[in-house]
Amino acid sequence: MVLLKMFVIPQILIYLTIQQSSCAPRSSDLTIERANEFITQNKNNVKQTYRLKYHAMAPIGWINDPNGFIYFRGEYHLFYQYNPYSAVWDTMHWGHAKSKDLVHWEELPVALAPDQIYDTDGVFSGSAIEKDGKLYVMYTGNNPNGQVQCIAVSEDGIHFEKVSENPVLDASDLPSNAQPQDFRDPKVFKRGDLYYVVTVSKTVNETGQVLLYQSADLINWEFKSILLEGTKEQGIMWECPDLFELESKDVLILSAIQMARSGNDYHNIDSVIEFIGEVDWNEGKMKVESIKELDHGHDFYATQSLLDDKDRRIVIAWMNMWGRTFPTAILNQGWTGAMTLPRELHLKNGYLTQTPIAEIANALQHVTEFKDVTLIDQSGEFNQVAGEVGMLDLVVNLEEAKLFKIELRANENERTILSYDNESKELTIDRTNSGVYIAGGENPPVNARKIEVPQENNELSLQIFLDQSSLEIFVNGGLETLTTTIYPTEERSEIILFYSEGKTVIKSLKFSKIVL
């Protein structure tokens, strides 16, 4: 079977043809047993060139949205949209992994397969909740008649049984302005004695909206309200809603398809948006006080969060983006997709901040440190500050600088450039010459992303996590983040080069290897 993807770039029409595995079964054979057998037989054939070292991934095949992210019986469980049979998107299963620390992940058997009439075209995204000691997952069943919401239950957190009452929500439960073909991504939670779920639907006017339902038992649901309606500028459809309370505010995070560009914001075809405000639970309506793009890099989508036993709100996202070519599929690596580093959320000045989970510090080794180094119209390297996998943490004083730049994962011909313009106060990540070219449908197609970042006392702090094919940049303590995938083609691409136009004082610099 051949999957044809088309990307439209001004004056250029790019057709990408990917040959899928001949081992892919017929739709009638899409069972959990068949999927697990295929994984066992083929996962050792996956190429390791760009495989990530400390991020959650599938053993083989394609993954996208994180699903069912939950802390259950002392461990973190992460499910995900999964096609084990090929490195391109196809009929979705739920893959599954668990971790004790959000850094070391253990592969588990496939949790759900599209083996029922109501989910025959895919077990789409959803969430998890604990009830009476059991793990319940609520997911979208995709079928030729539309999208419906379904429940599966597990005694051990690994093996699931779909309930006989499925689907528990269907087209008859939608408001009159909703399209049943686009009704998905339930995120379930408990408040007081009731269970609630937020889902999304496309309206008849081609905009997104978040729907709110309530239940006493997770099986019988009642439509509560349209929690929030989108505008034309906020995309033609919303996905992956997540509603939670954080530091006395209500937070709604969702992913918007074709969000309109605004300045430096929303430059990917699809974007993740945070809405901060208050929910009136009697009316089931959200009053929004602030709106912001959650991550300004190239590859961050479909977030989902959990609350753990330490009362931390932790979010994770798919570290790719729709509307792009996927280098690992093109290069026949046997896999596509990974998750971001999990991040702890807080509020500051009315907006979300993201910081890497504290547990990653336990994986930092071979630390190299420098202090109070001055660069004046020059470039330079630091001894032992180099590598493909590690963490770079630095604070720079830019009072007398015009431009400060870091070249990451550099070699003779390739590099990814992170630069700060002290006049415009803009931070830019540019992967134009990072390696394998990534084509996309953005108009215009730009392989750089930028964000305005004010300084604090003329200082800029950067925490940069490097993995085999990813960069995650936390700016000024997580006030901003930029997440990007890169695919260098040279055998070694470990150089980290620093450059200053004008005078830059590197107050502190620390480079650590990340070793699991």
- pLDDT on residue 441: 87
17 part of a folded domain = no
Of 259, 263, 266, residue with least CA distance to 231:
259
pLDDT reported for residue 24: 55
**Quick one: 370 and 290 in the same domain?**
no
The encoded tokens of residue 342 equal 């999990």
Mean pLDDT across the stretch 498-502?
Answer: 98
Contact 61, 24 (CB under 8 A): no
Closest CA to 425 of 398, 447, 396: 398
Residue 174 lies in a domain: yes
290 contacts 351 by C-beta, under 8 angstroms: yes
Q: What is the reported pLDDT for 377?
A: 98
Residues in contact with 174: Cβ distance below 8 Å, sequence separation at least 6, in sequence order: 180, 183, 201, 211, 223
Element (H, E) at 448: strand 448-452
| Cβ atoms within 10 Å of 39's Cβ, excluding its own | 20
Indicate whether 338 and 409 sit together in one domain: no
Residue 83 covered by a domain: yes
pLDDT surpasses 50 at 7: no
Mean pLDDT of the chain: 94
Residue 266 vs residue 12, higher pLDDT = 266
Cα separation of 85 and 20, whole Å?
8
Q: Which token pair is 352? A: 């979300």
Nearest Cα to 307, choosing from 260, 363, 251?
Answer: 251
Indicate whether 425 belongs to any domain.
yes
- The last residue of one of the domains, among 356, 387, 420, is 356
Can you tell me the distance from the alpha carbon of 78 to that of 152, in angstroms, rounded to the nearest whole number? 15
Give domain status of residue 302, yes or no: yes
Interval 257-294: pLDDT, tens:
999 999 999 999 999 999 999 999 999 999 999 999 99
Three-class secondary structure of residue 149 per DSSP: strand
* Number of domains the chain contains: 2
| pLDDT of amino acid 2 | 30
Indicate if 65 belongs to the active site.
yes
Q: Are residues 322 and 198 in the same domain?
A: yes
Q: What would you report as the CA-atom Rg of the chain, rounded to the nearest whole angstrom?
A: 23
- Token output for 81: 């949209």
pTM of the model: 0.95
Confidence at 491, pLDDT banded by 50, 70, 90: confident
Q: Is residue 7 one of the residues assigned to a domain? A: no
What is the β-pairing status of strands 364-380 and 390-410? unpaired
Query: Domain check: are 331 and 424 in the same one?
Result: no
- pLDDT bracket for residue 493 (50, 70, 90): confident
- Pick the last residue of a domain from 332, 356, 380: 356
CATH classification at residue 288: 2.115.10.20
- Residue 40 DSSP SS3: helix
**Domain shared by 214 and 350, yes or no:** yes
Residue 478 has pLDDT above 60, yes or no: yes
In a domain, 5, yes or no: no
| Whether 320 and 434 share a structural domain | no
Residue 127, classified by CB atoms within 10 Å of its CB into exposed (0-12), middle (13-18) or buried (19+), is buried
**Taking the mean position of all CA atoms in its chain, how far away is CA 128?**
17
Domain's final residue, options 339, 356, 373 = 356
pLDDT band, very low/low/confident/very high, at 27 (cuts 50, 70, 90): low
pLDDT reading at 444 higher than 80: no
Find out whether 35 and 58 touch, Cβ atoms under 8 Å: no
Give the CATH number, domain containing residue 371: 2.60.120.560
In sequence order, what are the residues at sequence separation of 6 or more whose Cβ sits closer than 8 angstroms to the Cβ of residue 367?
A: 510, 511, 512
What percentage of the chain reaches a pLDDT higher than 90?
Answer: 91
For residue 293, give the nearest of 320, 267, 312, 316 by alpha carbon. 267
Whose tokens are 């269907």? That residue is 170
pLDDT in tens, 316-363: 999 999 999 999 999 999 999 999 999 999 999 999 999 999 999 999
Looking at residue 77, its pLDDT comes to 99
Give yes or no: residues 296 and 368 share one domain: no
Q: Are residues 333 and 378 part of one domain? A: no
Q: Read off the DSSP letter of residue 382.
A: -
Segments forming the whole domain that contains residue 209: 22-356
Average pLDDT over residues 71-79: 99
138-156 pLDDT per residue, tens:
999 999 999 999 999 999 9
pLDDT tens, 33-56? 999 999 999 999 999 999 999 999
Inter-residue contact 123 to 112 (CB < 8 Å) = yes
Percent of the chain with pLDDT over 70: 95
* pLDDT for the residue numbered 12: 29
Whether 246 shows a pLDDT value over 70: the answer reads: yes
**What was the pLDDT predicted at 99?**
99
Catalytic residue among 29, 65, 121, 132: 65
Whether residue 480 is contained in a domain is answered as yes
**pLDDT tens per residue across span 358-400:** 999 999 999 999 999 999 999 999 999 999 999 999 999 999 9
**Which of 234-248, 333-347, 438-452 has the weakest average pLDDT?**
438-452
One domain for residues 153 and 48? yes
Same domain for 118 and 201? yes
**Whole-number Cα distances in Å, 188 to 130, 151, 253, 274:** 10, 11, 14, 18
Answer yes or no: do 315 and 413 share one domain. Answer: no
- 156 plus 31 within the same structural domain: yes
Does pLDDT of 14 surpass 60? no
